Amino acid sequence: MNLIHSNSPCQRVRPLLDSYVSNELLIETNHDILRHVGDCPQCRTALQEIEGTRIAVRRAVRSIHPPADLRERICASLTPREAAWTGSLRPRLAAPHVMSRWMAVAAALTAVVLSVGILRNLTLHRNSTGLLHVGWMDHKECVQAGHLPARPPTREQAVTRLASHSGLLGVVEAEMPGYVLRQAHECTVAGRKYIHLAMAKGGHIVSVSLVRKNPGERLPAPKSATIEGVEVFGFDSGDYLGFVMGEVSKDLPGLATKLTPRIQQVMQTL
Amino acid sequence: MPKVVPAESRRNEFEAAALPHMDDLFRTASAMVSNRTQAEDLVQETYLEAWKSFHRFETGTNCRAWLFKILIHRVHHYRRKWYQVFSKNESEDLIVDNIKYEAPIPEDVKDEDLLTALGRMPAMFREIVLLADVQEFAYKEIAKMLDIPVGTVMSRLSRGRKHLREELLAVAPAFAREGQKA
């Protein structure tokens, strides 16, 4: 195509300038355009404006930098273990490549069984969700009901109160930078004893609770659910159930993902 | 019988192919939704989804375009969820009618002004400008990512660039003065 042979070359060239800047035209067309803009100040200005926009937007967007720990968080979320959450925003996806065809068939069968309402499976489901309520009750009673102390305990007081469970404090402090201790105590809610830490950052309070398992209680895979505006992440290890809870926020799933393996290590020592 | 690849090896392969594109994915997500926290979530979701379907990815094909396609889908999903009203009110023809004139971009326009202007653009134009002008994808690749014809990519890019200049008039005073002289 020879653009310059047109009776009105500007009218032919202008619509092609965007594609010229994007390097989407044939070489011959590029040459035609270059020849034309060399002779035509109006088209040259139009071309410079498009190129100027392109350069400026590229420079501006490339000035955006991701958070330093994003790569680390992505890598952490890819592990099969941490991808086992259900019901939360980020860490819930299982690593599918490890799922064999037979596992997929088994999963499909399970879905069918659930869909026809086999009582046993439905009971198991209720139990998992029910266990998350066990953690939620502690957060509700100690945090949401306004029972946090006006003066938070000192670290020494917290260590004394937690006694043999004080290892939990070190883990929570290490994994929750920027949070301050608001509560550390043993409490009893609905007849069950909890080891409860409440950490605050701004107005957001996150609870970490441990409670001894009752017979038959288990969370073989971490679970999460939102109960009355509180996102509850539950897991187990050894003789204990563990929970990380707080009002729904974007940071909480990542925080729970980081805390879970560390808290499980502490739970195994209790 | 399919070849069995050890999980760790597959993961290393995924990280080597996919993670080098994280910065560009984050920049694009951040500029698309104008929210860093949401952009972090979108990029994480993109990687999880990519990881989930990595067994279908053919080594040697364009991993970068594949990741961007997933990101675009995540962003669209996010917009559908939170900006339903926005998408209903936004008509391509209406937007084009409102573009007044082409103004020049001064060399000293600040990055933050440009990002603000970008954030004010209608989403359908913003994503095309980001993919074409910042990430330098070819029209064909963009068309495939967005599932639209190449002709639509071309017209939206042209309109998007004009729209960006128009938005800059509103956010960059120095730019506005320059534009008025023109």
Going residue by residue through chain A (270 aa), what tens digit of pLDDT does each one get?
444 445 688 889 999 999 999 999 999 999 999 999 999 999 998 898 888 889 889 999 999 999 988 998 898 887 653 333 433 333 333 334 444 555 556 656 655 544 444 334 333 333 556 788 889 889 988 888 878 888 888 888 898 888 888 889 999 999 898 899 999 999 988 888 999 999 998 888 999 999 998 888 888 777 787 777 788 888 888 899 999 999 877 778 878 888 888 898 888 888
Specify the pLDDT at position B136.
94
Residue in B with minimal Cα distance to A100:
B4
Q: CA–CA separation, A79 vs A97, rounded Å?
A: 11
| C-alpha radius of gyration, chain B, whole number | 19
Instruction: Provide the CATH number for the domain around residue B105.
Output: 1.10.10.10
Of B24, B111, B126, nearest to B79 by C-alpha is: B126
Specify the pLDDT at position A33.
92
Range of the domain at B102: 90-182
The answer to whether the CB of A237 falls within 8 A of the CB of A195 is: no
Query: Quick check: A74 and B28 CB within 8 A?
Result: no
Q: CA–CA separation, B1 vs A174, rounded Å?
A: 48
Residue in A with minimal Cα distance to B26:
A66
Return all residues near A107 (Cβ < 8 A) that are at least 6 apart: A99
Specify the pLDDT at position A6.
52
Task: Say yes or no: B80 and B94 in one domain.
Answer: no
Q: CA–CA separation, A196 vs B47, rounded Å?
A: 34
B84, B104, B119: which is the final residue of a domain? Answer: B84
Specify the pLDDT at position A96.
41
Specify the pLDDT at position A105.
60
The answer to whether the CB of B127 falls within 8 A of the CB of B29 is: no
Q: With 70 as the cut, is the pLDDT of residue B14 above it?
A: yes
Q: CA–CA separation, A36 vs A197, rounded Å?
A: 73
Task: Say yes or no: B13 and B101 in one domain.
Answer: no
Task: Say yes or no: B156 and B80 in one domain.
Answer: no
Q: Which ranges of chain B does DSSP label H, i.e. alpha helix?
A: 7-18, 22-33, 36-52, 63-82, 84-89, 92-97, 111-120, 123-129, 139-146, 150-171, 173-181
Residue in A with minimal Cα distance to B54:
A97
Return all residues near B118 (Cβ < 8 A) that are at least 6 apart: A57, A60, A61, B31, B126, B129, B130, B164, B167
Q: With 90 as the cut, is the pLDDT of residue B30 above it?
A: yes
Tokens standing for residue B48: 């999880």
Which chain B residues contact residue A77 at CB under 8 A? 44, 47-48
Residue in A with minimal Cα distance to B104:
A49
Tokens standing for residue A143: 């945090």
Query: Quick check: B14 and A19 CB within 8 A?
Result: no
Specify the pLDDT at position A125.
36
Specify the pLDDT at position A109.
60
Query: Quick check: A49 and B53 CB within 8 A?
Result: no
B35-57 average pLDDT score = 89
Task: Say yes or no: B77 and B159 in one domain.
Answer: no
Specify the pLDDT at position B133.
95
Beta bridge partners of A101: none
B1-23 average pLDDT score = 78
pLDDT in tens, B125-150: 999 999 999 999 999 999 999 999 99
The answer to whether the CB of B76 falls within 8 A of the CB of B46 is: no
Q: With 60 as the cut, is the pLDDT of residue B181 above it?
A: no
A78 CB-side CA count, 13 A = 28
Query: Quick check: B47 and A74 CB within 8 A?
Result: yes
Specify the pLDDT at position B84.
42
Specify the pLDDT at position A4.
45
Tokens standing for residue B175: 């730019």
Specify the pLDDT at position A94.
37
B84, B103, B122: which is the final residue of a domain? Answer: B84
Task: Say yes or no: B62 and B142 in one domain.
Answer: no
Return all residues near A228 (Cβ < 8 A) that are at least 6 apart: A136, A140
Specify the pLDDT at position B149.
95
Query: Quick check: A60 and B10 CB within 8 A?
Result: no
Task: Say yes or no: B175 and B98 in one domain.
Answer: yes
Fold category of A128-269 in CATH: Phosphorylase Kinase; domain 1 (3.30.200)
Query: Quick check: A57 and B14 CB within 8 A?
Result: no
The answer to whether the CB of A77 falls within 8 A of the CB of B47 is: yes
Q: Please give the angle made by the CA atoms of A263, A198 and A229, to the nearest 5 degrees.
A: 95
Q: Percent of chain B scored above 90 by pLDDT?
A: 43
Tokens standing for residue B1: 């019988």
B15-31 average pLDDT score = 94
pLDDT band at B173, cuts 50/70/90?
Answer: low
Task: Say yes or no: B101 and B180 in one domain.
Answer: yes
Q: CA–CA separation, A225 vs A129, rounded Å?
A: 7
CATH 3.30.200.100 region(s) of chain A?
Answer: 128-269
How far lies B168's CA from each of A61, A135, B4, B115, B128, in Å? 15, 51, 54, 9, 17
Q: CA–CA separation, B39 vs B70, rounded Å?
A: 13
Of A58, A64, A83, the CB nearest to B30: A64
Q: With 50 as the cut, is the pLDDT of residue B105 above it?
A: yes
Which chain A residues contact residue B7 at CB under 8 A? 80, 95, 97-98
Task: Say yes or no: B128 and B174 in one domain.
Answer: yes
Task: Say yes or no: B135 and B170 in one domain.
Answer: yes
Specify the pLDDT at position A203.
80
Q: Cα A178 to chain center, whole Å?
A: 18
Task: Say yes or no: B100 and B26 in one domain.
Answer: no
Q: Does the predicted model carry a pTM greater than 0.80? A: no
Tally of domains in chain B = 2
Task: Say yes or no: B116 and B146 in one domain.
Answer: yes
Q: With 80 as the cut, is the pLDDT of residue B156 above it?
A: yes
Tokens standing for residue A183: 């509560």
Distance from CA of B19 to the nearest CA of A (A): 7
Of B27, B35, B154, nearest to A50 by C-alpha is: B154
Task: Say yes or no: B66 and B100 in one domain.
Answer: no
